[in-house]
Chain A
Amino acid sequence: MIEFTFWDILRNLLLAARWTILLSIVAFAGGTIAGLAILLLRISKRRWLRRAAEYYIGLFQGTPLLMQLFLLFFGLPLLGFRIEAWTAAVLGLTLCASAFLAEIWRGGVQSLPSGQWDAGSSLGLHYFTQLRLIILPQAFVITRAPTVGFLVQLIKSTALTSIIGFEELVRTSNAINNATFEPFTVYGLVALIYFVLCYPLTRYTKILELRAVNQH
């Protein structure tokens, strides 16, 4: 049997944390792009498009992320895709993030006074130009705090991908725990690593919220 010292455990956990960070970044980036598309549908002038986006968001917010991951992991091979844990993890978190981010940003867009749209129209701007130059920049500023807050939630959600076999922090910690029988140390350290990743972002959210309150 190999002897694990405390530093061996910590070093292996930190190495695994790289995958947690990478997955969070990729899913957040993907979720931002897909979320913008959903947002466009959600605020569309066509009723059925709005309805479709509403159902999409409701579906992801009304079912467990674990089920979404399982469905992708077992469902995509049926459609002929060769799927690995990484693909299912990225896809699952991206889709889920897109639903949550679209809903957050919709709140921002709808909180803007309609005069902003009217002003854009009176300048003869096209719908998408209005969105790009006038509406979305303001909506993003308003919703910065909840967006960062969601990033924290996303980082924590990556832990679930260990269950479909993606080799990130929690899955590595399970393996280390099985080898060392030191669950208290191992899971304590894992919690600490997540805390170090998430807490600065949480603080940043608080600062953003305070700034928003002071501005008004």
Chain B
Amino acid sequence: MTRYLIPDACIRDIGEYEKTGGYQGLEKALSMEPGQVVEEVKKSGLRGRGGAGFPTGMKWMFAAGDPKFPKYIVCNADEGEPGTFKDKALLKNNPHILIEGMAIAAHALKAETGYVYLRAEYPKEKEILEAALAQAHEKGFLGENIMGSGARLDIQVHRGAGAYICGEETALIDSLEGKRGQPRLKPPFPVNAGLWGKPTVVNNVETFANLPFIMRAGAQEYMKIGAPDCPGNKLFSVSGHVEKPGVYELPMGITLKDIIYDHAGGIKNGKALKAVIPGGVSAPVLPPDKIDCPMDFVSVQKWGSMLGSGGVIVFDEDTCMVQVAHRALQFFEHESCGKCTPCREGTGWLRAILERLETRQGREGDIRLLEDVSRNIAGNTFCPLGDGAAMVVLGFLKHFKEEFSEHIENGCPYGRTGKRPDRPAPVQ
């Protein structure tokens, strides 16, 4: 199995990086016409690794086809999805691969300015990345006349301010412009009117990191890796009740079961698997009978969830599903930007109902209410954040409804509110 994203040992020095073939992809790209680079990426079938899985080559083609200049490339490093920490691993262990990837993209799009929108909570990574950027400048991979090709690129690192919504590309752009980070109306899409109204390509850290390999090895080689519809390797952040949590670089299409049992060492302390969230908190939960699901953008959707950011969260048999749902909704309520009504008001309402359930104040009809509210949110929000929140609740209800009913009748069976305390006598 080829691994090209995260090396065995951390590489921060540019010399070390070059020894492993680093910046050869850029060299190759610079020897090609920008249009050819776009074409090659299109051919490779690379899909964006931020969560939506949109074909990267297509995105580039739209931006490259827009006559407006300057164009911008932006790296979305606002890794905020709970259960996801792959970009952090990349930035820490292989910062130059991002820089090389961005330089390739810049050449393809004729962009001369790039931004890395970095999650506020990654100050260490900022230092590492900035040190790498300085090295790349020094060596002539950035700045004026890159590798003698005449191309130029400057990359600036911008730290976010901690809002999850700024991982949404249009909110990210607003935030980068100094505005309140909220999703913009689409169309126009960022590829036509993004940063400062100019054509802008926003790609995830991992997406950029795939480019050096594609350029170096060629689209043909790249397509041999992974699933037919979704080629390449994917970084999976595995967390929760497994023996060996961590980031795993594995080919697309590997089954959930393989990830959990072969790579992450199985369920902790030999317990049984109860549920798994395959793609970060926004992805609906899957029960144990679905762990044969191949992990690629197309398959996971067929199996009833989303690959998302590849954040695999594993729960053992002792986990309270209501508590997990409650914790997730706490997150969504806190991170709802407030722009659209259903998400702003609905996420808080869902959280409040789940809180009742978890604290033995559940009432008859609450499950119905949860479903109703979720359905009223889903499909009616401005951006996918609200949809995600609703789908999460509906996912838990789909597979674990009995546990919810149990909460209403007898309180939390996992002792979150005291081990099955007697219910107070009803007031006469």
Same complex for A and B? Answer: no
Which residues in B have some Cβ–Cβ distance to A below 8 Å? none
